[in-house]
Structure 1
Amino acid sequence: MATSDVISVVRFYIEKVLKQVKGMKVLLLDPETTKIVSLVYGQTEILKHEVFLVERLDSERKDQLLHLKAVCFLRPTRENIALLRQELREPHYGEYSLFFTNRLEDMRLQDLAEMDIRELVSEVHEFFGDFSALDPFHFCIPLPKPHVALQPFNFQFGESSEALSRLTEGIASVILSLRRRFNIRYQRGSEMCQKLAQALHHLTMEEERALFDFGSRAADENPLVLILDRKDDPVTPMLLQWTYQAMVHELLGISNNLVSLKDAPGVKADFKEIVLSARQDEFFQKHMSSNFGDFALAASELLVEVAQQKKGQTKHFSSLQDMRNFLDNARDFSAAEFNASKHAVLASELQRLEAQRSLMQVSAVEQEVSCSNSNLQSHYDAVSQLVNNPDISDSDRVRLVGLFALRYEREGGRHVESLAQRLRALGVPQASMNGLECLLNFAGTSHRVGDLYSDRTFRSRFVTMAKHAAGLRGVENVYTQHVPLLVNTLESLIKGRLKEADFPHVRSMGGAPAKPPKLVIVFMVGGSTYEEARSIAELNSQSDRADGGWAQGLKFILGGTSVQNSRTFLNDMAEMAANAKFH
């Protein structure tokens, strides 16, 4: 399948699984493949393939349904093999088709064969979809404990080794699904990046060389896996976001395309859990990268449009509160109304949170500290003023101090300590304070390959101002100066300026390729962000345009161990501090 769209790849495999087994069937999944499938395939779509039931392999089953075939889509783990052996010992279905998301070791295949005394297993296949496809060019390989990828590698506790194994398997699955032989580069100074690059090289070039040999396919692409460490850019996951998808994740959280509003006041039961999927939702696909004012205005216009279509009414909403009032009085939503209404509900809740936490004021200072020229006293005064503002939440105070500490780690030690003392006086929890200390120990200047704040000339070219939204009172846009360091790294890569000393190759045959890659998988150990995913999407949209600049003719895919927001990133810092790795 010749595509670099990871959603299309996983959908292709799932569709092949469901079509290959004819007749009424049961789909058996494990905890991870349940998420993998739900991200790209709707329940209605599954039912169209004569799927009578979808169940977890680890659930308790009492009824025998021997007239049904079981289609198993599973990760080839030790736990799943044990569960399959148990299922074959006491079968609940008449036939079993086994589809694994990655390579199945011969020893585990033998374990299954020994238990299949009734010869119920009709087929065994390897389909390489061992990752969560979030967007067409964005994927995730989730870890049970995300902070493990960030902390120093430690073989003794097993968690580091398990994380390394899972990440190696996941990236290998992406490579196999794309059917290209990749070169590998990694970030210097990151033990996990180095070990992951080496493990991936050993697997693809030595242990399973034949499996990863795709001949001369796409030889001119010089495809590359670039493995980066989150610690090189700790700023991006800590900033407030003002584009739809990223803002929802920052303020509410997105997990497996689901947004929970169970704690939001005044939200109807119908909207307590909302699905956000660009593949299933045309409005979201169009506006996921729109700024706050633009998508709020578009949500209002969409709601007006569906209301007029239903009753011929003429509606006009002059504010997001008007939309909320309309929704509170509405009854019997059609599918179109429900879709329009969920975006209106989200826009209204985002505005409520922005007003409650004074987020535009906070964001302006964040952007100034992170993106403008160095001005220690001015930035200290601005951060200090917000830290002392009773309307600012503890979480926002911690973020502001963290961003200031990263920027002025060398020359602003006295100012950082003053801010930290003020946080303690305000009663900020000790775990948060430990996480703040861990932030500098983990991602301070001495731990980063480059200086986040040195290249002002380059980064200033990307400074833009969001358009002011018209027609909606109470919705404004802030300056969005920040551009992830990843953009700079990729431009340096394509232009041949990415230093070998800082980002060495894992060499297979000779030196580095003479030509720059045309397909790049960027994998962020420690988690990607939706801001970075947006940058990747923008670069890919430039690819086919004549004026695409340095991105013309290129494709990028972003992956990570999670999708970070400021809460999850600082939680990871607190977890690392609790593990006493840096104390």
Structure 2
Amino acid sequence: MDVVHAMKLYINKMVDDAGPGIKALLMDKETISIISIVYAQSDMLQKEVYLFEAIENYVPRQESLKFVKCIVFVRPTEKNITYLIRELKHPHFNNIISKTNINALAEVDEFEVVKDVQEFYADYLAINSHTFSLNVKSCYQNVHHWNPISFQRITQGIISILLSLNRCPLIRYQSSSEMAKRLAEQIRQTIAKENVLFDTNTSTESQPILLILDRKFDPITPLLNQWTYQAMLHELLTIANNRVSLANVPGVAKELKEIVLSQEQDEFYQKNLYLNYGEICSNIKCLMEDFQQKTQQQKKIETIADMKSFIETYPQFRKMSGTVTKHVTLIDEICRIVNASSLLEVSESEQELISTGNHSESLKRISKLISSDKIRNCDAIRLTLLYALTYQNNSNYDIRGLCRLLERRNMNPGDIKIINQLMEFCGLKQRTGGKGTTTTPEILTTEHVRAFTKKVIKGFRGVENIYTQHTPVIKDLIEDLYRCRLREILYPFLGSVQQRERPQEIIIFIIGGITYEESLTVYNLNRQLQGTKILLGGSIVHNSKSFLDEIRCACQYHSAETAEPTVMGSSSHHNSGNTGALASIINKIENL
């Protein structure tokens, strides 16, 4: 179950099927990302693909370039079909296409230029061998319901994953999520409808398990600061389609305004992907020293033999130079943000907050940090959110006091409103169905945090790094599923068919997005759990900013439906015109 390998097989096949000679590749904005994340442009040039066009921007040429073979690789959408009707050559669709659309294409192919039409199930981003994303930014129309467009896209993406891996799984879902149940049912219906495509599953002795979850099951993980390389890059700088933008960083060279990160092309990145901050800094120092040594050797060209050696090693030397420059620039910017924003202190407080269960100490510590001008507003908000999620049912819960501290930072009440929105999205009432008891033990109430912490401490006994102690909830779920202990009342099978033996293959899909920390967890579990392969996917790969953006989007419609005028009780201070708005926000938070 290697999604990068599956993606490369499809791309290689479509290029090989076109035969030798000059080729052009016509794509849409989504398939451009799908291809570029696994192949560099130089790789495609080696396959004789010399021209790359976006179908949205494509203007048909007046002259006919009969010597160029055009490979069209697009999603089977109505808009793309319209574009294709305008210009036909050699289309490949990355998911199932309807017969109606094929007939529409055939009718306009007057000169019979279409050689063949194929479905290549490459409708997802292969982040790495065990992780995929569908790059859908917003799943929720409100807190409880699907955005219809996202629902269709995610259904298609999961079907594509299953077909590309040649798998027909048993489906389990999070019972507390209507969205998870609906997606599970839609996938089962699609499998039944396309039963011919799914009738070739003979690759494993037991059926794989597809477990569908809703991001509400663990809102803690996307809110935490990260300390492994890939996760830090995404949290602090944002990775989009394997690219990091440094356009807003002062003093950065023009060629480094956008940096491409590829595990396939970049050995340093591949080796340091999951290493922590200290190890990365040490390794970049070693890389620089090695590069400086090679630079000195290159200067000593005294004989013909030296010149020959230089010419032979120059491509590797130039590649190493690019690697050093790229990662020194990235790590330098990461270090600047960490130091300027006191992220070590913030992160230590986060870990203490979610793991110790000591309310008074946690409140005292984060209150001090929120009152400090050393930390960023976004970190002050995240500390408050973590406190609200962890201690909402504590008798001394003081979200009101923390909101007052946020207001003193001159934060807009609209920014503070995210606390209210988060609690609407995944607060205690959302997690319990309004019954006062959690429907799933994995939700991080105060009592669960204490039990969870014991597991964390046991798992990290002897580990001194206090900044990476947190373990995502998904680890417990996968281990329970692996040991056949995952409770069916909480994660039921869809349909009457059930599996009692240990699964050999597990596919986890999270509605509302995954994180790189969870990807690392799955990477480690794949190494630890012998005989079982695990694949993790989600609607998108989140950092804290994108996660909060998704919550804002989900709560816009929901808040409009449920909003009621609220009046705050007596207040001891503040005459600001924003006080009434803040009071309304606080009252809503306390009532959630």
Q: TM-score, normalised by structure 2?
A: 0.86
- Taking the aligned partners of 2:262 and 2:355, their CA distance within structure 1 comes to 32
- SS of structure 2 residue aligned to 1:303: helix
AA matched with 2:76: P
Q: Paired residue for 1:504?
A: 492
Number of the residue aligned with 2:3 = 6
For 1:124, the aligned partner's letter is V
Give the Cα separation in 1 of the matches to 2:395 and 2:337: 32
- Segments of 5+ residues of structure 2 without an aligned counterpart are 300-316, 432-439, 564-592
Check conservation: 1:102, 1:169, Cα contact below 8 A: yes
Amino acid at match of 1:568: S
Partner of 1:350: 334
Asked if residue 309 in structure 1 is aligned to residue 294 in structure 2, the reply is yes
The CA deviation at 1:142 is: 1.7
Identity of aligned residues (%): 35
Note the C-alpha offset of 1:402.
0.2
Secondary structure of residue in 2 paired with 1:500: coil
Over 3 Å counting, the alpha-carbon distance change for 1:216 and 1:101 in structure 2 is same
1:566 aligns with 2:544: yes
Asked if structure 1 preserves the Cα contact closer than 8 Å seen for 2:71 and 2:92, the reply is yes
Alignment partner, residue 520 of structure 1: 506
1:129 aligns with 2:122: yes
Superposed CA RMSD in Å reads 1.9
Q: Summarize the alignment of residues 107-126 of structure 1 with structure 2, pairs less than 5 Å apart.
A: 107-126=100-119
Is residue 555 of structure 1 aligned with residue 538 of structure 2? no
Distance in 2 between the 1:227 and 1:403 partners?
Answer: 25
Query: Which position in structure 2 is the counterpart of 1:422?
Result: 405
1:568/1:305 CA distance change after superposition, 3 Å: same
Please give the alpha-carbon distance, in whole angstroms, between the structure 2 residues aligned to 1:462 and 1:150.
37
Instruction: Give how far 1:153 is off.
Output: 1.2
- Partner Cα distance (1:552, 1:149) in 2: 40
Structure 1 Cα separation of the partners of residues 475 and 548 of structure 2: 23
For residue 555 of structure 1, what is the amino acid of its counterpart? K
Q: What is the alpha-carbon distance in structure 2 between the residues aligned to residue 511 and residue 66 of structure 1? A: 55
What SS class does the counterpart of residue 140 from structure 2 fall into?
A: helix
Q: Which residue of 2 aligns with 1:18?
A: 15
Instruction: Identify the match of residue 460 of structure 1 among 457, 461, 470.
Output: 457
Give the Cα separation in 2 of the matches to 1:342 and 1:277: 12
CA deviations on 1:251-283 (whole Å, 9 max, x unpaired) are 010000001112223322222211111111111
Give the C-alpha shift of residue 443 in structure 1: 1.1
CA contact (8 A) 2:92 2:119 kept: yes
Q: Deviations over 1:493-544 (max 9, x none)?
A: 111221111111112xx341121211111001000000000011111122xx
Aligned match of 2:427: 444
Cross-structure match for 2:145: 153
The amino acid across from 1:440 in the alignment is M
Q: Does 1:82 align with 2:82?
A: yes
- Aligned twin of 2:187: 200
1:136-190 deviation digits (Å, cap 9, x = unpaired): 11000122x4253773216xxxxx2221111111001110011122000110121
186-195 or 132-141: bigger deviation: 186-195
1:217-253 deviation digits (Å, cap 9, x = unpaired): 31x2320110011111000000000000001100010
Q: Give the paired residue count.
A: 527
Q: Secondary structure of 1:570's partner?
A: helix
Query: Partner residue of 1:547?
Result: none
Secondary structure of 1:479's match?
A: helix
- Counterpart-to-counterpart distance in 1, 2:421 and 2:39: 40
Quick check: 1:435–1:571 contact (8 Å CA) kept in 2? no
TM-score calculated relative to the size of structure 1: 0.87
Per the TM alignment, residue 423 of structure 1 is displaced from its structure 2 partner at its CA by 1.2
Aligned-pair CA distance for 1:35: 0.3
* Counterpart in the other structure of 1:380: 363
Contact 1:227-1:525 within 8 A present in 2 as well: yes
Query: Contact between 1:261 and 1:271, CA under 8 Å: does it hold in 2?
Result: yes
Q: Which of 264, 268, 273 is the aligned partner of 2:249?
A: 264
Equivalent position of 1:66 in the other structure:
65
Q: Deviations over 1:342-385 (max 9, x none)?
A: 1111111111100100000000000001122x111111001100
Change (3 A) 1:562 1:413: farther
Q: In 2, Cα distance between the equivalents of 1:276 and 1:221?
A: 37
| 1:128 to partner: Cα distance | 0.8
Asked whether 1:339 is paired with 2:331, we answer no
Counterpart of 1:324 in structure 2 is: none
Q: Deviations over 1:110-159 (max 9, x none)?
A: 1111111221111111111110101111000122x4253773216xxxxx
CA contact (8 A) 2:208 2:506 kept: yes
SS in 2 for 1:266: coil
Is the CA contact 1:435–1:575 (under 8 Å) kept in the aligned structure 2? no
Partners of 2:15 and 2:419 in 1: CA distance? 48
Q: 1:183 to 1:167 in 2, by over 3 A?
A: same
- Aligned equivalents of 1:45 and 1:528: distance in 2? 29
Relative distance call for 1:412 and 1:262 in structure 2 (3 A) is farther
Q: Aligned match of 1:229 in 204, 210, 214?
A: 214
Match of 1:335, as an amino acid?
A: K
Matching residue of 2:469: 481
- CA distance 1:400–1:111, shift in 2 (3 Å): same
Partner of 1:98: 91
Quote how far apart the aligned CAs of 1:191 are: 1.8
1:313-351 CA deviation, whole Å, 9 max, x = no partner?
99xxxxxxxxxxxxxxxxxx9221110221111111111
Distance 1:412 1:129, change over 3 A: farther
Selected match of 1:409 from 364, 382, 392: 392
Q: Using the alignment, how far apart are the partners of 1:187 and 1:69 within structure 2? A: 47
C-alpha spacing 1:569/1:386, structure 2 compared with 1 (3 Å): same
Give secondary structure in 2 for the equivalent of 1:513.
coil
The 3 A distance-change label for structure 1 pair 462 and 447 is farther
- Equivalent residue of 1:185, what SS? strand
Deviations 1:9-44, CA, capped at 9 Å, x for gaps: 101100111111122121000010000000001101
Task: Provide the C-alpha distance between the structure 2 equivalents of 1:115 and 1:465, rounded to a whole number of angstroms.
Answer: 69
Shift of the 395–514 alpha-carbon distance from structure 1 to 2, 3 Å rule, reads same
Name the CA distance, whole Å, in 1 between partners of 2:417 and 2:139.
Answer: 15
8 Å contact kept, 2:173–2:213? yes
SS of equivalent residue, structure 1 residue 55: strand
Deviation at 1:65, TM superposition (A): 4.1
Residue identity in the other structure for 2:199:
D
1:27 partner SS:
strand
Distance in 2 (CA, whole Å) between partners of 1:464 and 1:80 is 54
**8 A contact 2:144–2:178 mirrored in 1:** yes
Distance 1:501 1:428 in 2: 43
Distance, in Å, in 1 between the alignment partners of 2:413 and 2:555 is 11
Query: What secondary structure sits across from 2:110 in the alignment?
Result: coil
* Structure 1: distance between partners of 2:198 and 2:175: 26
Q: Which runs of 4+ in 1 moved over 6 A?
A: none
Q: Could you report, residue by residue, the CA deviation over 1:535-574 in whole angstroms, capped at 9, with x for unpaired residues? A: 11111122xxxxxxxx111110000011111111112222
- Letter matched to residue 422 of structure 1: L
2:197 corresponds to 1:211: yes
Partner of 2:352: 368
Specify the structure having the higher radius of gyration (Cα): 2
Task: Give the stretch that moved more between structures: 408-417 or 104-113.
Answer: 408-417
| Gaps in structure 1 of 5+ consecutive residues | 89-95, 155-159, 315-332, 468-476, 543-550
* 1:326 equivalent in structure 2: none
Q: Which residue of 2 aligns with 1:471?
A: none
